[in-house]
Chains A and B, each alone.
Chain A
């Protein structure tokens, strides 16, 4: 019995090393003093962190990434909340199909989605790159918003809404005074999750960037093609920290089990 436990412990440790090892290496190299990415790092320096803020393209694309994630999130909320409500409360024909359509961006490979959007939004309809990027990210975020909010709604007794209506509130009023306060944590978790998806996205963004418009992850790709210094490691560490903090927030709000269960 004890032997088995030891075996399991070793196995678990190996898995963790495999998963976290590269991240630790990146972290270590970001503090190195040499001008090329190197492990183990030589010396200690914060100059690569300084460099992030000196390269204009990083700052500009960071701004674009944030703006797209925030505005996209807002649009996804305006579309997703009513959709989630209709899907979880309504009884209508084709509900199952609609549900699948809304969830499909998660299932379809991002490259396919990105390429399709390039073909239609940019090439066919001749939309500006910036708007195309925004639309792409709304499509990307929508399933997460819908999924999380529908899940919150299904845990919320419909009789409570009926009670509010029987006391004189309209359906809309009921939504704002009774439903919204009770799905608040789901709403925030959905927003954070969608934000992360957008913020870290590469496969859709790569098709929707052009002269003057790019996102941080795409800029990082471009940077690695030309330079091999630890700036890229430093920026990765910052992104990891942001992602980690958001994930902890989501976990606190909803529990991550929300996204793994059907």
Chain B
């Protein structure tokens, strides 16, 4: 039974529909991220859950109760803002105690809970400071403590780390995950930073134009994107349009544009539809010379390679040194392919090469419009 469910929600800002017939279910205790480019509707979704925005249509159910019209101050959800949004005229203690005082807790209880929470976020001894006297990371920890101390039924994060520098960001996201696990609190986390979302979430929802393209565990999304949009978003740069396809169990063999023949193992189990593309990451694509084509390359037999399966011929157009490897833009009859290869064996500009697509690394994704 899900804790939270958005049912056929529509949200409009002025005349633009930002969400239309939007659905999302969240289980108790999990941390789910909403990830996507700016304007994809992730922040709108979060603000709707918080109660800062009202749905034009649809229903918001929480713990089996209709929350659609419950005002923000009656929801008991904790919200952590990108700008921290601490009360500048109050000390750290008073900031954290604010929600408890509104709940008419007695002084002893407030004292105890605030101190316990400041310990959770490692800010003991900072009680008497004002927000203006704290660093960005400390402010965000006060904001987290302030949101957590009221024992919210749901914790919401809106790009909480965007204003911090890179090192601190990595530390803070570990902190956030640790606290979330420790308290077992259901959390919705919005960010445009892919690494951040993947590293802390139980599930990630990748959003595009007000629609969730895929909602899965981070590793599943990383390995098996379902749509072209998701694939591009997580770094599959190479796509091949498919003309014909035949399936035998997990074994799929297909005919792409320009007569390209590809055999692949379809592991994700995503349903195969009519409009699909084959996709592969620059890291997974092999770039070899003629003489390097040998039995077993990319999981293909010599017979298959001789028959032209999973091989595309091209010419190196641009090479970029990335440190550990080189990245090549290879011009082929199918368009440009991006491929990485370790630095020891560099190709010159204009070199004729063969691209091999390993059977296990090619995925099928639904075409995005």
Contact = CB atoms under 8 A, between A and B. Distances in A.
Contacts of B50: 162, 166
Contacts of B102: 167-169, 173
A171 B85 CA distance: 16
Nearest to A180: B89
B190 to A, nearest CB: 14
A163 B149 CA distance: 13
A173 B87 CA distance: 14
Given A167-B99, A168-B102, A168-B150, A159 B85 contact: yes
Interface string A177-216: 0100110000000000000000000000000000000000
B103 interface: yes
Interface string A126-163: 00000000000000000000000000000001011011
Interface stretch (B76-84, B302-310, B316-324, B355-363): B76-84
A167 B150 CA distance: 8
Residue among B73, B77, B89, B146 with max Cβ neighbours from chain A (10 Å): B73
B273 to A, nearest CB: 42
A257 B81 CA distance: 31
B271 interface: no
A181 B74 CA distance: 24
Nearest to B158: A159
A52 B222 CA distance: 87
Nearest to A163: B85
A21 to B, nearest CB: 45
Contacts of B78: 166
Nearest to A184: B89
Nearest to B87: A178
Nearest to B77: A166
B79 A163 contact: yes
A181 B75 CA distance: 26
Given A159-B81, A159-B83, A166 B88 contact: no
A170 interface: yes
A71 to B, nearest CB: 29
A164 B150 CA distance: 12
A159 B131 CA distance: 15
Contacts of A163: 79, 81, 85-87, 143, 146
Contact of A169 (B73, B77, B83): B73
A221 interface: no
A166 B87 contact: no
Interface string B19-38: 00000000000000000000
Contacts of B79: 162-163, 166
Given A181-B89, A182-B89, A166 B83 contact: no
A9 to B, nearest CB: 41
Contacts of A181: 89
Interface residues of B, number: 27
A167 B146 contact: yes
Contact of B72 (A159, A166, A173): A166
B98 interface: yes
Contact of B87 (A160, A168, A171): A160
A164 B98 contact: yes
Contacts of A164: 87, 98
A160 B139 CA distance: 13
Nearest to A167: B99
Contacts of B73: 165-171
Contacts of B85: 157, 159-160, 162-163
A148 to B, nearest CB: 19
B52 A162 contact: yes
A160 B81 CA distance: 9
A160 B86 contact: yes
A141 to B, nearest CB: 27
A155 B74 CA distance: 28
Contacts of A169: 73, 98, 102
27 contacts: A157-B83, A159-B81, A159-B82, A162-B72, A162-B79, A162-B81, A162-B85, A163-B79, A163-B85, A163-B86, A163-B146, A164-B87, A164-B98, A166-B50, A166-B52, A166-B73, A166-B75, A166-B77, A166-B78, A166-B147, A167-B102, A167-B150, A168-B76, A168-B99, A168-B102, A169-B102, A178-B87
7 A-B pairs with least C-beta separation: A167-B99, A159-B85, A163-B85, A166-B79, A168-B102, A181-B89, A159-B81
Given A163-B81, A167-B150, A182-B89, 14 more contacts: A157-B85, A159-B82, A162-B50, A163-B79, A163-B143, A163-B146, A165-B73, A166-B75, A167-B99, A167-B102, A168-B73, A168-B150, A169-B73, A182-B88
